């Protein structure tokens, strides 16, 4: 009797133990299920992130290669290719161009490719700089830097005009009057008999209000019909931040979207960079980065002012 009872008790204990073990196992699985799902999601996210990153790197590599090949072909001697895509497209009849800027260093920082291309075509360039850059009390220094940099780009010293007017101070907080700027531009256009006017667009490349003020003054002259008939007006295209700092990687976009442009060879690009470095008082660390990476050191894209566009922009300004 005792042996039989012991055996039954042992079987019950064993069964109870098995039941307990199975219960713990099931409960443990239910508790671990959220963690397992979370781990699965993380693994999948990591896998697809790596796959996406690989695709992005591949696309960047192919696009960079395309830009380099396209840039190389622009300066290749194959005439058949040059008929399809040209390194520059600017008014062919321009003989006397007036470049209007706001500050000393604008000519090198933004307009270098246009200046060098016009000079290559034997176009005489007159520079009108509307302020002496005295914001940091360095007016005399910046004046000399302007002359040195402009001369290195092929602009004659006698063709440079630097205004020092109390109502056109180098200060983003000071509003430049449209009428004042327009009068100066018109006076120089007529006196110089210029057949091309080049300046900023409404965004002024860097967003500086003094740059934009020149555009609105120019636009007002176009709107009132005061620009001489033979004079074309081109404005330098402002681009977004990504395009601005990718140097020649902006080339395909420029060729596709722009009507007038100038692209420099790598050697000519160095000439623009050297001209910018002659503005020594302005060469702080972030401008060093600008000189190294900005598209404006190698590419300029320009738009001809359209009267209907001007009317729309002035109404919405």
pLDDT tens for residues 181-200? 999 999 999 999 999 999 99
Region of 228 on the Ramachandran plot (φ > 0 left; ψ -120 to 50 alpha; else beta): beta
- d(CA 7, CA 11) in angstroms, rounded, equals 6
62-78 pLDDT per residue, tens: 999 999 999 988 887 66
pLDDT of residue 315: 67
**How far, rounded to the nearest angstrom, does the alpha carbon of residue 183 sit from its chain's CA centroid?**
30
Average confidence (pLDDT) over 235-244: 96
Overall residue count recorded for the chain in this entry: 317
Alpha-carbon torsion, ordered 182, 185, 189, 190, to 10 deg: 60
Window from 26-35, 84-93, 234-243, 305-314 with minimum mean pLDDT = 26-35
Average confidence (pLDDT) over 228-250: 95
Mean pLDDT estimate for the chain: 86
pLDDT of 94 strictly over 70: yes
Q: Are 84 and 71 in contact (CB under 8 A)?
A: no
- d(CA 34, CA 301) in angstroms, rounded, equals 57
pLDDT class of 317 with cuts at 50, 70, 90? low
pTM: 0.82
User: In the CATH scheme, what is the code of domain 95-315?
Assistant: 3.40.50.10320
pLDDT of residue 80: 59
Exposed, middle or buried by CB within 10 Å (0-12, 13-18, 19+), for 215? Answer: buried
- d(CA 244, CA 250) in angstroms, rounded, equals 8
Window from 81-95, 100-114, 293-307 with minimum mean pLDDT = 81-95
Q: How far, CA to CA in Å, does 39 sit from each of 27, 33, 49, 53, 272?
A: 19, 10, 15, 21, 55
Handedness of CA 162, 168, 169, 175 (dihedral sign): negative
Handedness of CA 303, 305, 311, 316 (dihedral sign): positive
pLDDT of 294 strictly over 70: yes
Average confidence (pLDDT) over 80-108: 82
pLDDT of residue 139: 87
- d(CA 293, CA 269) in angstroms, rounded, equals 11
């Amino acid at each position: 009797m005792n042996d039989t009872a012991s055996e039954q008790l042992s079987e019950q204990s064993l069964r109870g133990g098995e039941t307990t073990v199975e219960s713990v196992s099931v409960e443990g699985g239910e508790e671990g299920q959220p963690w397992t799902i979370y781990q699965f999601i993380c693994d999948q996210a990591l896998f697809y992130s790596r796959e996406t990153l690989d695709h992005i790197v591949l696309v960047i590599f192919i696009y960079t290669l395309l830009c380099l090949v396209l840039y190389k072909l622009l300066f290749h001697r194959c005439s058949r290719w040059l008929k399809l895509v040209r390194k520059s497209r600017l008014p062919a009849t321009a003989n006397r161009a007036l470049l209007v800027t706001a500050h000393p260093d604008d000519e090198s920082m933004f307009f270098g490719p246009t200046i060098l291309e016009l000079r290559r075509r034997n176009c005489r360039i007159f520079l009108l700089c509307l302020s002496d850059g005295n914001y940091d009390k360095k007016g005399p220094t910046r004046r000399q830097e302007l002359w040195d940099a402009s001369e290195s780009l092929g602009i004659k010293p006698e063709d440079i005009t630097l205004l020092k007017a109390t109502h056109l101070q180098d200060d983003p907080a000071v509003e430049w009057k449209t009428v004042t700027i327009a009068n100066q531009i018109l006076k120089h256009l007529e006196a110089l008999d210029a057949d091309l006017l080049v300046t900023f667009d409404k965004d002024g490349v860097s967003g500086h209000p003094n740059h934009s003020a020149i555009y609105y003054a120019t636009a007002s002259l176009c709107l009132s019909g005061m620009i001489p008939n033979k004079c074309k007006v081109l404005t330098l295209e402002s681009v977004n931040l990504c395009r601005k700092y990718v140097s020649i990687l902006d080339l395909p976009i420029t060729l596709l979207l722009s009507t007038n442009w100038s692209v420099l060879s790598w050697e000519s690009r160095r000439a623009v960079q050297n001209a910018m470095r002659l503005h020594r008082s302005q060469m702080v660390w972030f401008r060093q980065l600008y000189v190294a990476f900005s598209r404006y050191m190698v590419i300029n894209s320009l738009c001809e002012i359209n009267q209907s566009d001007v009317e729309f922009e002035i109404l919405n300004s």
